[in-house]
Structure 1
Amino acid sequence: MTSLNGNDLDARVLRGIALGSAVTLDEKALARVAENRKVIQRILDEGRTVYGINTGFGQFATVVIPPDQLATLQLNLVRSHAAGVGEPLPKDQTRALMAARINCLLKGHSGIRPEPIRLLAACLNRDVLPVVPSQGSVGASGDLAPLAHMALLLVGEGLAWDGEAHIPGGRALAKAGLQPITLEPKEGLALINGTQLITAVGNLAVARLMDLVPLADEIAALSLEALRGTRAPYDPRIHQARPHPGQIQVAAHMREILGETSEIAESHKDCTRVQDAYSLRCIPQVHGVTRDALKFAGEILQRELNSATDNPMIFTETQESRSGGNFHGQYPAFACDLLAIAACDLASISERRQERLVNPAYSDLPAFLTREGGLESGFMMAHVTSAALVSEMKGLAHPACVDTIPTSAGKEDHVSMGPIAARKLMRAVDALEQVLALEARMALEGVRILGMAPARGLEPLMERLAAACPPWNDRPMYEEIAHAADALRVHVGE
C-alpha cells in the first residue's frame, strides 16, 4: 500500500503501483486540496472572470461562459480533448499515469475537489482502468488527450479494460460498485492539464534502467573473463585522475565483481597482449556516463512526478489564480531523450563485445561459440539479432524534443513532443534488455568453453544463467534468448 501526498513519489514506488500496488490518499494533502478548492468558489461567488474557470480554452480564452453552463463547459472540454489514436497504453503504464495524476492533484494547486481524486484512486485500487490511446499528445499544454481519456472514465464515459476486452466506462464503474461524478468548474481542466503521460512512462523507464545499468557492468565483467581481458584499466588511480562520478562508480563496481584475480585471469597472466579493445578497456568511461545521465535525467523526472503542472495555478494563501506554463513538457522530454541515448550507447558497446565473443579473430574462442562449426551455427544469428536491435535503437536515440509543430491556432507555438520521447525511451529500454541478455548468454558460453573458473563475484550471475541455459547445442535460439532474459530479471529481483 502506497500513500500519495504529492511530494515524495519516486520511480521505484511508481513501478510498484504500475504492477498492482494499491494507493491511499494522505489526509493532510486532501485537506490542502479542499482548502484550495475554496479559492475557485470564491472566484465564482465574486463574479470574477478567470481563465479555465468560466472562460473557454486556448484560442477561446476570451469567451466568457455563463454560470449555468459551467458544468457543461468542463464536460465538453474532456469529451472534445479525448482525441487520442493508436494502440492503447499497456495497463501498467495506464496505472502509472493515474497515480502520477493523483499525486499532481494532491499538490493542492489545481482547484479541484477531493471527490474526483478519491474516485480516481478507487478506480486504480479496483483495477478499473481507462483505455488510453498512446498517440495524440504533443506534450505542450500538458498531455491533454491521454488525460482526457482517463478523465472520461470518471464521468462514466469512454472505454475501460475488462480483461483484454474494452467496455463502456460507465459499465466498468458499475461493475466495481463505483458512481461517476459530475464535473464542477475548473475540474475538467484540472484532470487533463499536465505532463503525466511523459512523466509516468519516463519514470517507469528509469526504474528499469536503475536495474539494467549496474547489471550491464556484471555482464561486461563476464565477457571480460570469457575474452581473457585484463583488470588493469580499472585501477582506481586512473579514474581519480578523471573524476566523473559514474566512471569512478563503474570502475569500483568492476573491481568488486572481478576481484584481484581468477583462474581465468591467471591463465593469461603472461600473455603478449598489451591492451584490450575499447569495448573492454573503456567500460568505466562508457558505462559511467550512462550512470551520470541516469542520475541527471532521473532527478528531473522525479521532480516532475512531484510537481504541480496545471494552468491556471490556484494559490490558497493569496486566494489567486495565475496563468503560467508548468504544463509544458520540455523538462521530462529532454530527460527521456537523454535516457534513450544512454540506453543506445550501453547496447552499442555490448554489441561490440558480442562481436568479439563470436569472432575467433578477436578471441581464443571458437567461431560463433560452437565446437561443431559447420554442423552447428552456434550464436551466429544471435549476434545478428543484437546488431538489428542496436541499429533500431540508434533511430530511437534521435531526440523528439528538438521538434515542434505549433498547434491550437498558434497559441501553442512551441511544443515538447515529450510523449514521443517517452514512447521511444520505453522501446529503447526493451531493446537494451534483450541486447544485454544476448551478451550474457554468449559470455556464459565463452566461459564454459574456456573450462576455467571466472571471478567469484560473477558466481550469482553465472548460477542464474546456467540454471536457465544448458551448454549449447543448436536449438531454437529465440527460446534461449527468452530464458537468459528471464534469468537476468530474477537476478535483479524483478
Structure 2
Amino acid sequence: MNHYRRLWAVLVCCGMLFVWRTGVARPVLELGPSHRLTLQEVREVALDHRPVTLSEAGMRNVRRGHEIVMDAALGGVPVYGLNVGVGWNKDHPVFHEVNGRKVLSDDLLTLSVRFNEMSLRAHAAGVGKPMSADVVRAGMLIRLNTFLSGAAGVQPEVASMYVDYLNHDITPVIPSLGTVGEADITLASHIGLAMIGEWDVFYQGKRLPAAEVMKQLNIAPLKPVGKDFLSILSTNSLTAGQATLAALDTQAFLDKQVRLFAFMLEGFNGNVAPFSETAVAARPYAAMAQEAGRIRAALVGSDLWRRSADRALQDPLSFRTMAYTLGVVQENLLRLAEDLQVQINASDDNPLVLRQAVIARDAAQSDQLRAYRVTSEQGEGAIYPTANFNFLPVASKVEYLNLSLAKLAESMVQQLIRLENPELTGLPRFLAAKTNHGHAFGAIQKPFVEESIRIKLLAQPASLYGATLAGNIEDTTSMSGLAVRNTEQILDALYHIAAFQLLEGAQALELRDGFAPSASSKALLASYRQRVPFIDQDMPYSGYIEESAKFWRAYR
C-alpha cells in the first residue's frame, strides 16, 4: 500500500491529472541541478510552448563537463571525436603552448569539428514520416535538462542552441522510425544536423532549411567539437519524450474511462456490490481499491444504489471485475511514470563525464577505474564507459502498460456485447427504440471487435526481438520506440471502442424508463446528446461513431 501511495504521489507531482489549461501564459521554466523536471512540464514545453532558461549552476556544470573532455585529450586519455577516430595521427600535434599553458592545437580542433559534422551526417538514417513537433520538442527538452549535470561533456554552445530552438519554436525534421532502443542515434542526429545548418526544420508552419531559419533569427550555426556529436545523438530522449506524452494521454483516457464505465454499468443495471468498500477491503490491492473508489464516486446519486428486483446477483465478469482491470492499468501507468521521472532527470550518456564532486568512490579502490580519471589545473574529473543508454527499465514498463490496456479493451468489448443482450439487460434486443423495427445495433459489433484484436497484436512485447549490430558489439536491444508507438496506436483504438460505449451506453440509459443516473452520468449524457442523438431508426452509424470518438477525446 505504501509503495502504491508513493507511486501515486509521483503521478500527482508530475501533473498527470491534467490540471492545466491551454492558452494560459506560463512562467519561464528554469532548468538546472536544483530543479527536478516533471512529466507535466515536459508537456507544457512540448505542447504549450512554455519558454525555458538555464540556471547559472547548470551552465557551470556544462562548462566543467566540457573542460574535463578537453583536459582528457590534453592528458593523452583517448576521447572519441577529439583525439581518437578523427583522422589524427602522430604527425599532428595534440597541443601547443600558449603563455606556458598547454592548449589543444588548432589542427586537432579543426579535425574534430570535421569529424563531428561527418558523424552527424553518417548517423542520420531514419525512415518514415516526420515525428510530431510535440515529440521532438519533448525530446529536446529532456536532452537539454540532462546536459545540465555536465555528464554529457558538451560545450556550452550546444546547450544554448537547444534553448534557442525551443524558445524560437524551431523544430528539426526527424523521421519517425529508426531506433532499436539503445539510444536514438539515427534519429537524434537530425537535431545536430539542423544545428550545423545542414538539415530542415519546421518553423512557422513551414518546412524550411535550418540554415535559412537560423540566419533569419541571427543564430550562428553550431561548430560541434569533441564529444558534442556523440552527446547529441547518443541519447534516448526522443523516445523518452514520446513515452512521456503517451503516458499523460493514457492517464487522461483512464480518468475518463472510469466515468464511462459507470455510465455503462447504469445502462446495464449492474450490481454495485463488487465495488463497495466492504468487498474491496476483503482483498486490499491498492490500485484496485483506488479504482473502485473512483467508480463509486462516479455513481453518486445513481439508482444503482437502490434495490432492484430486475438486477442480477452476479454480473458478467467484464463488468464485475472492472476495478481490477482499471487498477492494473493504473498501477502500470504509475510505475511507468516513476521510471520516466528517473529517465528525464538523469544522464544516459556513454561515455559519462564526471565532475570531481561526483566521481565514484570505487575509483579509489580499483586500478581499472582509476584509469578513467582526468587531472588538470582545473581539478579532477573522470570519463567512464557506461551502459546507461539501455532503455529497458522504461521499455518494459511501457510493455506492461500495453498488456493491461489490451485487457481493458477486451473488457470494454465484452461489456458492449452484453449490453445488447435482452436476457441480461431487460432492454430491447440490440437496444432498438420502440420506433425502430430494423437492425438497431445488431450489425455494428464488427468494428470494435477488430479494434480489440488490433490492440492485442500491438500489445505483444517488442523487447523480445532484436538483432546483433555494430560488429557484434550491440547484441541486445529494448525496441522501446516500437513499444511506445504501439502505445499510441492502442490508445487511438481505445478511443474508437469508447465511442461505441458512448453510443450504446447512452441509448441504454434512455431506454431504461424511470432510472435516475448519477450526477456524473447525467452531465455526460446531456453533453453527449448535443453531438449525437438518440437512435430511433436505422441509419448510417459511421459519422456518429467518429463524432463520438472526437467528443470523448475532448471531454473533460
TM over 0.5: yes
CA separation of 1:176/1:254 partners in 2, compared to 1, >3 Å: closer, same or farther? Answer: same
How far apart are 1:265 and its partner, in Å? 5.3
The Cα shift of 1:162 comes to 4.8
Instruction: Report matched runs for 1:224-373 at 5 Å.
Output: 224-259=265-300, 262-263=302-303, 266=306, 269-271=308-310, 273-317=312-356, 318-371=380-433
2:232 aligns with 191
Q: Is the 8 A contact 1:250 1:284 kept in 2?
A: yes
> Hey, what does 2:517 align to over in structure 1?
454
- 2:130 matches 1:88: yes
Structure exhibiting the larger radius of gyration computed from Cα positions: 2
Higher relative contact order by CA 8 Å / sep ≥ 6: 1 or 2?
Answer: 1
Counterpart among 177, 189, 194 of residue 148 in structure 1: 189
Residues 1:4 and 1:481: Cα distance change in structure 2 (over 3 Å) = farther
Identity %: 25
The residue type paired with residue 222 of structure 2 is: I
Q: In structure 2, what is the equivalent of residue 205 of structure 1?
A: 246
1:186 is displaced (CA, Å) by 0.6
317-326 vs 447-456, which deviates more?
A: 447-456
Contact 2:462 2:482 in 1 (8 A): yes
Supply the distance in 2 between the matched residues of 1:116 and 1:203 (Cα, whole angstroms). Answer: 24
Q: 1:169 to 1:367 in 2, by over 3 A?
A: farther
Change (3 A) 1:96 1:231: same
Quote the offset at 1:376 in angstroms: 4.8
2:386 corresponds to 1:386: no
> What secondary structure is seen at the aligned counterpart in 1 of 2:424?
coil
Picking from 418, 428, 435, the partner of 2:497 is: 435
Q: Deviations over 1:160-194 (max 9, x none)?
A: 22566533221232344432111111101111111
Alignment match, 2:258 = 217
The structural deviation recorded for 1:48 is 2.6
Q: Distance in 2 between matches of 1:184 and 1:310?
A: 16
CA distance in 2 between counterparts of 1:184 and 1:89 reads: 27
Residue pair 1:2, 1:22 contacting (<8 A) in 2 also = yes
Partner amino acid, structure 2, of 1:14:
V
Cα 1:453/1:174, change in 2 over 3 Å: farther
Question: Which of 10-19 and 193-202 deviates more?
Answer: 10-19
Cα distance in 2, alignment partners of residues 240 and 55 from structure 1? 63
Structure 1 residue aligned with 2:177: 135
Once structures 1 and 2 are overlaid, which stretch shifts more, 164-173 or 32-41? 164-173
Query: Is the 1:401–1:417 Cα contact (8 Å) retained in structure 2?
Result: yes
Give the secondary structure class of the aligned counterpart of 1:299: helix
Kept in 2: contact 1:74–1:183 (CA 8 A): yes
Using the TM superposition, give the Cα deviation of residue 125 of structure 1 relative to its aligned residue in structure 2, in angstroms.
Answer: 2.0
Shift of 1:249: 0.4
The answer to whether the 8 Å contact 1:203/1:302 transfers is no
**In the alignment, residue 76 of structure 2 is paired with which amino acid?**
G
Matched residues in 1 for 2:91 and 2:433: separation? 79
Q: Indicate the RMSD between aligned Cα atoms, in angstroms.
A: 2.5
Partner of 2:546: 482
Q: Deviations over 1:19-63 (max 9, x none)?
A: 132331231212221222211221233333234543239xx9x99
Q: Is the 8 A contact 2:82 2:225 kept in 1?
A: no
* Aligned counterpart in structure 2 of residue 48 of structure 1, from 71, 77, 80: 77
What's the CA shift string for 1:78-129, capped at 9, x where partnerless?
A: 1100011112111211221221221221232100122112212211222211
Q: Which whole-Å CA distance do the structure 1 matches of 2:401 and 2:346 have between them? A: 21
Instruction: Determine if the alignment matches structure 1 residue 32 to structure 2 residue 50.
Output: no
Superposition deviation, residue 447 in structure 1? 0.6
**What residue in structure 1 maps to residue 31 of structure 2?**
4
- CA–CA separation in structure 1 for the residues paired with 2:115 and 2:443: 58
Contact 2:273-2:279 within 8 A present in 1 as well: no
1:133, distance to aligned residue in structure 2 (A): 0.6
Contact 1:445–1:471, Cα closer than 8 Å, also in 2: yes
| Kept in 1: contact 2:80–2:226 (CA 8 A) | no
CA distance in 2, matches of 1:335, 1:52: 34
Question: Aligned letter for 2:32?
Answer: N
Letter in 1 for 2:84: T
Does structure 2 conserve the Cα–Cα contact (< 8 Å) formed by 1:33 and 1:114?
yes
CA drift at 1:270: 2.0
Q: Aligned AA for 1:76?
A: M
1:414 aligns with 2:457: no
Q: Shift in Å at residue 462 of structure 1?
A: 2.6
Instruction: Report deviation, 1:271.
Output: 2.8
Query: Structure 2 vs 1, CA of residues 359 and 56 (structure 1 numbering), >3 Å: closer, same or farther?
Result: farther
- Of 140, 157, 161, the residue aligned with 2:202 is 161
Tell me the amino acid that sits aligned with residue 457 of structure 1.
S
Q: Does the 8 A contact of 1:198 with 1:329 survive in 2?
A: no
In the other structure, the counterpart of 2:168 is 126
- Structure 1 position 282, deviation (Å): 0.7
TM-superposed CA distance for 1:342, in Å, is 2.1
CA distance change for structure 1 residues 380 and 265 in 2, over 3 Å: closer, same or farther? farther
- Cα gap change, 1:49 to 1:359, in 2 (>3 Å): same
1:475 positional shift: 4.7
Kept in 1: contact 2:507–2:534 (CA 8 A): yes
**SS of residue in 2 equivalent to 1:35:** helix
Distance 1:478 1:94 in 2: 33
Separation of aligned partners in 1, 2:410 and 2:272: 22
1:319 is paired with a residue whose SS is strand
Compared CA separation, residues 480 and 274, structure 1 to 2 (3 A) = same
Contact 2:270/2:311, CA 8 A, preserved across alignment: no
Counterpart contact for 1:198–1:333, Cα < 8 Å: no
Map 1:13-32 onto structure 2 (within 5 A): 13-27=41-55, 28-32=57-61
Alignment partners' CA distance in 1, 2:498 and 2:304: 22
TM-score by structure 1 length?
A: 0.92
Question: Normalising by structure 2, what TM-score?
Answer: 0.82
Instruction: Decide which moves more: 483-492 or 206-215.
Output: 483-492
**Does the 8 A contact of 1:156 with 1:180 survive in 2?**
yes
Q: 1:476 to 1:179 in 2, by over 3 A?
A: farther
| Distance (whole Å) between structure 2 residues aligned to residue 370 and residue 3 of structure 1 | 58
1:436–1:52 Cα change, 3 Å: farther
Is the Cα–Cα contact under 8 Å of residues 96 and 201 in structure 1 kept in the other structure?
yes
Structure 1 stretches lacking a partner, 5+ long: none
Q: Residue 157 of structure 2 aligns to which amino acid in structure 1?
A: E
